[in-house]
Structure formats: C-alpha cells, structure tokens
Amino acid sequence: MNKKRNLILTILIAALVIGLLVWRLWPRSLEAISNQDFDQILDISLHYEDRSNGDTITSFSSILSPEDEAFDSVVSLLSHIRCRPSLANLNPLPADSLRFEGRNPLIISFVFKDGNQANLHLTERGEISADSTSLNGLGKYYITNIKDYETLLEYITTHRIENNS
C-alpha cells in the first residue's frame, strides 16, 4: 500500500512539473511577452539595420504614433507574431546575458499610456530579446513562424517608414 501511494505521488509530481514546463514554454504573442495591451500604445519606435551586403549598412529609424497611416498596419503585423520562450528564461539568475546578437536587427520600442515601456530586439534568425518595465527584466524568445516576421520586415522596408527620421 505504501509503495502504491509513493508511486502515485511520484507520478502526480512528475505530471505537475511537465505541465508547468509545457505551460511556461508554450508560444505566446508579443502582446503577452510585453505584458501590455497593444491598444494602449502611445508610440512605436522602429530601427532597422540591413547588413546583408557585406560591409554596407543600410539603416533607418522611425517613430509611429496612432495618427500615422502605418501605425495600425505595424501593430496588426506585430500582433500576428507568436514566440516560444527560451529555456534560458527559466534561469532564476539575473538575465544580463540573454541578448541575441545577429545580423540585420530590427529594434522595436513601445511606450504605453500607463508609462511602461517594452523593447524588442529581433534578429534575422527569428530570435527576440525582450525587456519591459512591466516584466522586471529581460527574456529570450524564438519566433514560431518566421514568415510572420519576414512579412513585418518586408512591410517596414517596402514602405520605408521614415516619417520622423
């Protein structure tokens, strides 16, 4: 009887641990990552650097507000991106070394109506470093469908959103 109870207890604990890991590593939206409602965005800052042609760097920056034509399109494209958290996020130690380094970064910064900020550093390989005043730290994520990121990047580069540069 005692063996049976220990076995059941072990199975329940293992199921709980597996369930928590699956929940913790389940893909989520950028809205969930930033822990903010995208309807509350005051402005979006975009900075892109294209280093695909060797040493040539093409870059542009822009700040979008809700009055701008491209604002709703960019928010809509961002809301379609889903990301899977990295196992590195489970480390309870300070996350200073969680930034990804990569070519062709797209840096997106949000300012929300409540004063919070979120920053996303996206690389061409579909990696995201995210930090937010509401997250109290930095997180590392992987885009689950790279096509969504490529669509966003294509929109930004095609329309050359440079209204406030």
- Residue 18: inside a domain: no
Residue 109, classified by CB atoms within 10 Å of its CB into exposed (0-12), middle (13-18) or buried (19+), is middle
| pLDDT value of position 69 | 83
pTM of the model: 0.73
Range of the domain at 134: 28-159
Task: Report the distance separating Cα 145 and Cα 82, nearest Å.
Answer: 7
Contact 88/22 with Cβ under 8 angstroms?
Answer: no
| pLDDT value of position 29 | 86
Number of domains in the chain: 1
- Residue 135: inside a domain: yes
Both tokens assigned to 142: 């992987």
- Residue 118: inside a domain: yes
- Residue 1: inside a domain: no
| pLDDT value of position 17 | 92
- Residue 8: inside a domain: no
Contact 109/119 with Cβ under 8 angstroms?
Answer: yes
- Residue 101: inside a domain: yes
Task: Report the distance separating Cα 91 and Cα 38, nearest Å.
Answer: 28
Task: Report the distance separating Cα 29 and Cα 89, nearest Å.
Answer: 16
- Residue 120: inside a domain: yes
**Tens-digit pLDDT string for the chain (165 aa):** 788 999 999 999 999 999 988 887 788 888 887 778 888 888 888 888 776 666 656 677 888 888 888 888 888 898 888 888 887 776 766 555 555 555 557 888 888 888 888 888 888 778 887 777 665 556 788 888 888 888 888 888 777 655 444
Beta-carbon contacts of 30 under 8 Å, excluding residues fewer than 6 positions away, are: 38, 78, 79, 81, 83, 120, 130
| pLDDT value of position 83 | 87
- Residue 112: inside a domain: yes
Residue 65's SS3 state is coil
- Catalogue the E-assigned strands of the chain: 28-29, 41-53, 56-64, 82-85, 106-112, 117-122, 127-132, 137-143
